[in-house]
Structure 1
């Protein structure tokens, strides 16, 4: 006999299944309608009804499973509190188990989609393909390879979630769940043609924001249906997140559509009409979210047991999300309007053309905003200044020098990735060397001097009740974690830094990092993070991190910076060209002496490391001179007088 607690669970599962079915049916219907257009563009044969209907249906249902997994990991990590000892409570544990099961479903869907995609791209019905045919074709098609990678990643996350009982591991599971979406983000319409760099970056932001928003909503809905605890807190926290996700989805969706279709084609093409459908769904979701903040959130704050308004609006919102996911999958199977011209080789590879060689003017005046790192830098500036403002409003002060250092570091990151310097970095080794120095040394030093952890701890308010930890408690837990302690050790941080310095001296690694967009993003991120970790571990600016003894600080700094000199010498003496095949594929008439440019890049690395070493050696001298000048100015007696 079913118990009283079984019924809400069954209702919650039925809601998730209903959303998945709604998404799948919507996607399959659109896929069948646009099939003639797709076949006309590709010239392939009809793969049969199993693939025609099954592929979009399973992809949409699988993406709902991924969204459910991400949302429930988010719920366990940040929307409901753990127990006082750090172990997940019953609500967090249930969310974790649901997320793991959904990740397993996502893995199985992705595995089946490998076979369906082979059938789709070959025009051969699935029943006519043998397992050997599918296996041999997987590496030949980018999309099938992406599905295979997705299946592996999702399976790993599902298995990794099984032994987790403590809260401290749930943020890692959330991040891992988001990673399973990345193979899809770098394939499809957005990964090809002109401006594909902007299209891919905007799609990454769109997918992440959408998964957090829709997944968090489904997790909150299931929690409310079960009558779980702290629903008022979970709803309030999710409402804040949903607002930012809505803004991110709106901007990134507009950018992605703008580079794929002209305004004149919006109403005259199937692709444009589906874009209009997505916009309408987003507007509807935004309206429901606004209504949440005006009614259901207010009702929960007055009475935490008053969940009727939340359930009514959330069910409507979940259904609309199901349709939106189906439309998005259908959009991915719809060919966009044909481009008026074929992209140039550089445009096809980079997303933009570089018709002229670099000059000082072009480096400083030609800009192409990097949606990933440029946006991150501006957001970090905003968060930092908001924290400084909160301190000032409370009557506390914060160092203007540290504020200026942080802002300058973020603006330098924008310049390195979005100016002409960032554009030419993708096509020239010498420019790559300049950006590597800026991202690994310049930007990290400025950011670390901003002491962001100290500012955050001072600006964040402690939770009102010890039973419900908030952002400040999360940060304290992270800073005190053994994982961060291991990474923040100077010698560990040095090892991570050297991986970035010497790793790209290997031709295989460098070729992979520069020839594809996703590895290029990872490379830039690794330069930045490894530099931040190293200088934070060595400098001791943030007292929350264990500072290194002063007598060792200069030694390890000089040791680290000397490796840039050695790496530069190594590159200069190489006879093989790093990234040669990729650079030649760009067909830039002004960039033909690849080995000479590589040697220039090596010299830049060596010179940059040497200048940084001299700066480290000069710092104590400058400090002593300033101290002496201060003594003379104040008239204080010197030591020994």
Structure 2
């Protein structure tokens, strides 16, 4: 009966939110989250000591992003996610669509570039390696929408509707690897769209919105496909432990509903962030033009008036 290879999870009591949020850390993600917070904090402190400012909002965003990862990977949600499709789907949605957005708003790459010391002449330190990576062809490819949109879609369909998912779910390691993949895919998908950080692929705002909306319908369809199914579609979840007191099909329908509802939340969040960024860049542009006009005494306007006068003269 125990085809899932982890006897621990077989006798979990019925799921409640209280039980789901109990501390039960996955070692890999616990270390990763603490490291991320520690390094980010070190960067901010380094800037402060130097007398440079770093927006508090970014620090809060990054911390929330890390906490959202810890929330789904370092609590009992992670244990329940091994045996309940609906809980797994919450983990997947948070880590692939919510955490990346909030982490990116923290601008970790910008912070690293500003905080890391410049290596001496002819030497390569962490900062130089990071810059090299940012400018690499590899980065240009993996952050290009021609790559990220299909990858985003494939991580849903190709993974869940193929034997790969069941294979990964057979072990904790496979499960962790899958979650790392979801987080990485979310980061490369949202980075060109709404990341504050410099990246190799930076389309204009209208293109970014199109990129955002290109991926979302597939997410919704995926959720609907799960909700409409008349039998359990994923082997790993077809025989939930009796102690949970759940029906596999009802749980799958719930998972579909979660995937469908969630596909809207990030779209709205990103859209708000994008409109805000767009507005700010327009304001910066306007200020720049005002400053230029002050400097050259409205040369452009004078030239335009002269041009109109010449047209008028020609007309007469």
| Shorter-chain TM-score tier | 0.7 to 0.9
Counterparts of residues 151-550 of structure 1 (less than 5 Å): 345=2, 349=6, 351-364=8-21, 366-464=22-120, 466-550=121-205
Pick closer, same or farther for the CA change 1:480–1:613 going to 2, 3 Å: closer
Query: Does the Cα contact within 8 Å between 1:449 and 1:541 map onto a contact in 2?
Result: yes
Query: Does the Cα contact within 8 Å between 2:100 and 2:187 map onto a contact in 1?
Result: yes
Query: Does the Cα contact within 8 Å between 2:194 and 2:274 map onto a contact in 1?
Result: no
1:610 pairs, out of 264, 282, 285, with 264
Counterparts of residues 123-134 of structure 1 (less than 5 Å): none
Is the partner of 1:426 in helix, strand or coil? helix
**How high is the TM-score relative to the length of structure 2?**
0.81
Name the residue aligned to 2:214.
559
Higher RCO, 1 or 2 (CA under 8 Å, sep at least 6)? 2
Pick closer, same or farther for the CA change 1:350–1:475 going to 2, 3 Å: farther
Pick closer, same or farther for the CA change 1:616–1:446 going to 2, 3 Å: closer
Distance 1:588 1:390 in 2: 53
Query: Does the Cα contact within 8 Å between 1:355 and 1:588 map onto a contact in 2?
Result: no
Name the residue aligned to 1:56.
none
Pick closer, same or farther for the CA change 1:441–1:487 going to 2, 3 Å: same
Distance 2:7 2:153 in 1: 28
Query: Does the Cα contact within 8 Å between 1:558 and 1:616 map onto a contact in 2?
Result: no
Query: Does the Cα contact within 8 Å between 1:561 and 1:612 map onto a contact in 2?
Result: no
Counterparts of residues 595-606 of structure 1 (less than 5 Å): 595-606=249-260
**Deviation, structure 1 residue 621:** 7.0
**Deviation, structure 1 residue 515:** 2.3
Distance 2:170 2:238 in 1: 9
1:590 aligns with 2:244: yes
Query: Does the Cα contact within 8 Å between 2:65 and 2:102 map onto a contact in 1?
Result: yes
Runs of 4+ in 1 over 6 A off after TM superposition: 620-626
Query: Does the Cα contact within 8 Å between 1:457 and 1:472 map onto a contact in 2?
Result: yes
Query: Does the Cα contact within 8 Å between 2:4 and 2:169 map onto a contact in 1?
Result: no
Superposed CA deviations along residues 67-88 of structure 1, whole A, max 9, x for unmatched, are xxxxxxxxxxxxxxxxxxxxxx
Pick closer, same or farther for the CA change 1:544–1:461 going to 2, 3 Å: farther
* Structure 1: tracts of 5 or more residues without a match: 1-343, 627-641
Name the residue aligned to 1:147.
none
Distance 1:617 1:536 in 2: 14
Superposed CA deviations along residues 492-516 of structure 1, whole A, max 9, x for unmatched, are 1222211212223314232222223
**Deviation, structure 1 residue 347:** 9.1
Pick closer, same or farther for the CA change 1:449–1:507 going to 2, 3 Å: same
* Structure 2: tracts of 5 or more residues without a match: 281-316
Pick closer, same or farther for the CA change 1:445–1:619 going to 2, 3 Å: closer
Q: How many residues align?
A: 281
**Deviation, structure 1 residue 612:** 2.9
Q: Which has the larger radius of gyration?
A: 1
**Deviation, structure 1 residue 402:** 0.7
**Deviation, structure 1 residue 590:** 2.8
Pick closer, same or farther for the CA change 1:540–1:521 going to 2, 3 Å: closer
Is the partner of 2:253 in helix, strand or coil? helix
